Structure 1
Amino acid sequence: MAGRARHSIFVLYLASAVFVTVQQGVVGRSNNFKVFRAAAVNLLAHRDLYAAHPDQHFDFYKYSPTFALLFAPFAALPFAPALLIWSLLNSLLLWYAVRRLLPDRQATLALALVYLEVLFAMQYTQSNGLVTALILLAFLALEQGRQPRATLLIGLDAFIKIFPLGAAALALFHPRRWRFTLLLAAVGAGLALLPLVVIPSHELVAQYRSWLAIEVSDAGRVNRGDSVMQYLHQWVGMDWPNWPLQLAGTLVLLAPIAVNRARWSDRAFRLRFLCSLLLYLVLFNHQSERASFVIAYTGLAIWYAASEPDRVRNAIALAAVIALVLQDVQIVPWAVHDALGQYRVKAIPCLVAWIVMQTELLGWPRLHGPEVRQADIPPPEPLAHR
């Protein structure tokens, strides 16, 4: 039965990538994917990546020059085959990472819970599934004592979207943190300079200046995305800058590491921190959007699947699924659908889950059963041998 469920989930993820390709690459043409492909073409053609290119797409490119270079193979292929490979990369790499992270039944449950978010993320043809998978694989690399691999994965993630650099916090649990920092800096420098294989240095400097300009312009706008800052503004009229709440969220995220040093060697503790980090990266990101929530929902799904079920966790998981379906699946009248979207209801279970995770990480008691299925989680490698 477990093998059949595992196979069914794999087929579902595979078939969904094909469905999205037909929907966004054959019947229609995804503008997001056009932006990525055009960036690779413009880099090789020595054009400003961050200028308007209305003849190519209807948006602005806001990723790194390195990502534009890495996307070149997708630009060389016809639109639909390139989109199929991109969709498979985003769905199946996440499937693989969750499979590596959790025992069989837990992985199947987590992948089932997050499936709809993976599908929606693919329909946006963005990189959020890939971003999530790279964070999970970086966690696994650190657990295996493979710092060079972990730094490469985090570095690649940060050059796709900047905020996954927060995954570097996972290294705090492991020895040789200074070595990790130096390796990450070296990887970052190498990736930043990678476009030099196709453009001269003065042109690369100009690209980074344009990127900085568009990021500064975005930062100057009142933009809260689908973040906690937006909820407080919308619900209670709080009109603060983003940074005080982001700083507070960061301190809350890191507090268990500071006060529970004795639990650093506990893999269950580290796994729960990983889940909390995935939620934090979306909830406190002022540029988070609907497509970003595959990151948060993956954290919620892994946390639920790896923990003993109880009333609190069951209620959160059920609320997450209901909110996701009501907001993103058109099964309710449009007026209700729009209202749910306006108030960003699917993020509410994520925020509640994050608060519960933090109380568990801090060791605060609450009414629940055993915290984690300890017998199902492989024992950590001895820290002294890493």
Structure 2
Amino acid sequence: MNTFWHKTKSFFSQEKVVWGIYILAGFVIALQHYLHGSYNNYKIFKASTAHLLARQNLHVEYPNEYFDLFLYHPSFAVLFAPFAWMPMWVGMCFWNVFSALTVFYAIKFLPISAKQKNFVWWFVFVELMTALHNLQTNPLIAALIVWTFVNLENQKTVATGFVSSLGFFIKGYGGISAALLPFYRKDFFKNVFVYILFFGILAILPAFVVGFDQLPRLYSEWQTLLIEDHKVNYGVSIIGLICTLITTSIPIIYIQLVGLICLGLFLAYGFFLVKNQDLTLRLSVVAYLMMWVILFNHAAESNTHVISVVGVAFWYLISPRNKLTKALVIFVFILTILSPTDVFPKFIRDKYVIPYNLKALPVLLVWLHLQYLVFTQKYQPLHEQND
């Protein structure tokens, strides 16, 4: 039995095996949804490119084409064009495989050990599949945040500026990765300059398709959507937990204001008061940002948590191995990662997890624990982690 387990573990620890499984998952999930006719999100993305070319409003309903709204930045309609021009099923497969591989390669190039990479790959895999089933951009956003960190560590200024600004122009909260820039003091001004440069290029990108005279209209329509979207729901987030478990009398903006204060205090403490500005601290900041941006997102959905789960994986890498951290990571795996799947009891999911937004609860507890680790500087250096 031990020999079988060792061989199995060894096989699934091979990078090429993980790579192949990520590709297979993206392809099979996309094909499954195409055959079942359930790919509304992809229809929205594909149609957005056509609507932009036709100079139509991207952010209104088109009930004859799809249901729901296009909630993304106008530039995303340009960026999605290579997939939009493919036949539907081909584009879906390429899109999902592309999304899976961006996550795979972001993890592959992290400055951590092979064993640690394997943990991250497999810990996030089920949550990644949940996200791939929705054919949305959340895996890509998660990957871009990690890629920003990887590029900063490797002092790749141009790549940093591009991937960090790109996150915002896919979906606004993807721009959270810019908060990492101050932690790289040596190249800070250079990184900021290149970031602003790419931000400006991506901001006017739709104008090269529809003309600069149409750009103000596109931004006005996007702004209208954002104002209306803020009223929609509480999200699978801290906001959702408070408003479904405790009270609905607290305005959402107050909860998010508290979140901003927590973010500011965390970043300021890490930047000014932690003397050892090492890789472990910087990875803890990445983990914090990836959980925070979902926990305080009023529009967070179940599949959005692929971003927070990557953050949880990073938290575990820097956490002391004790009963508390092991219990928390198991809690995340069961309630956050497994709750949307068929292995989780349906009646518990439908009666408790979804109505009360409980999927966010384990991530909230990990987020609080990460703050404790950083404020007390009790996080474990990456090179000292052996299991």
Contact 1:40 1:69 in 2 (8 A): yes
Whichever residue aligns with residue 303 of structure 1, its letter is W
State the shift of 1:197 in Å.
1.8
- What residue is the counterpart of 2:196 in the other structure? 185
Deviations 1:312-340 (A, max 9, x none): 11101111111135521234554322022
State the shift of 1:264 in Å.
5.6
Equivalents in 1 of 2:318, 2:376: separation in Å? 17
Whichever residue aligns with residue 298 of structure 2, its letter is H
Structure 1 pair 356/95, CA: closer, same or farther in 2 (3 Å)?
Answer: same
Equivalents in 1 of 2:305, 2:237: separation in Å? 10
- What residue is the counterpart of 1:380 in the other structure? none
Whichever residue aligns with residue 318 of structure 1, its letter is I
Using the TM superposition, name which of 324-333 and 345-354 deviates more: 324-333
Contact 1:308 1:373 in 2 (8 A): no
Contact 1:39 1:61 in 2 (8 A): yes
User: What is the identity percentage for the equivalent residue pairs of Structure 1 and Structure 2?
Assistant: 27
State the shift of 1:265 in Å.
2.4
- What residue is the counterpart of 1:276 in the other structure? 288
Structure 1 runs, 4 residues or longer, greater than 4 Å off: 1-4
State the shift of 1:169 in Å.
0.9
TM-score, scaled to structure 2: 0.90
Structure 1 pair 171/228, CA: closer, same or farther in 2 (3 Å)?
Answer: same
Equivalents in 2 of 1:139, 1:13: separation in Å? 22
Unpaired runs of at least 5, structure 1: 378-386
Question: SS of 1:92's equivalent?
Answer: helix
Structure 1 pair 3/105, CA: closer, same or farther in 2 (3 Å)?
Answer: farther
State the shift of 1:2 in Å.
4.7
Question: SS of 1:342's equivalent?
Answer: coil
2:371 pairs, out of 354, 358, 370, with 358
- What residue is the counterpart of 2:336 in the other structure? 324
Contact 1:2 1:105 in 2 (8 A): no
Matched, 1:120 2:133: no
State the shift of 1:196 in Å.
1.9
Unpaired runs of at least 5, structure 2: 1-8
Question: SS of 1:301's equivalent?
Answer: helix
Equivalents in 2 of 1:237, 1:275: separation in Å? 29
Question: SS of 1:247's equivalent?
Answer: helix
- What residue is the counterpart of 2:3 in the other structure? none
State the shift of 1:201 in Å.
1.6
- What residue is the counterpart of 1:214 in the other structure? 225
State the shift of 1:308 in Å.
4.3
Q: What is the 5 A alignment of 1:265-304? A: 265-304=277-316
- What residue is the counterpart of 2:354 in the other structure? 341
Structure 1 pair 130/243, CA: closer, same or farther in 2 (3 Å)?
Answer: same
Equivalents in 2 of 1:157, 1:230: separation in Å? 24
Contact 2:30 2:93 in 1 (8 A): yes
State the shift of 1:344 in Å.
2.2
1:243 pairs, out of 253, 272, 294, with 253
- What residue is the counterpart of 2:166 in the other structure? 156
TM-score, scaled to structure 1: 0.90
Equivalents in 1 of 2:301, 2:79: separation in Å? 24
Contact 1:103 1:376 in 2 (8 A): no
- What residue is the counterpart of 1:47 in the other structure? 56
State the shift of 1:3 in Å.
6.3
Equivalents in 1 of 2:292, 2:232: separation in Å? 20
Equivalents in 1 of 2:382, 2:346: separation in Å? 41
Equivalents in 1 of 2:377, 2:191: separation in Å? 31
Structure 1 pair 131/75, CA: closer, same or farther in 2 (3 Å)?
Answer: same
Equivalents in 1 of 2:23, 2:160: separation in Å? 27
- What residue is the counterpart of 2:108 in the other structure? 99
Using the TM superposition, name which of 11-20 and 180-189 deviates more: 180-189
RMSD of equivalent CA atoms: 2.0
Whichever residue aligns with residue 275 of structure 2, its letter is R
State the shift of 1:303 in Å.
2.1
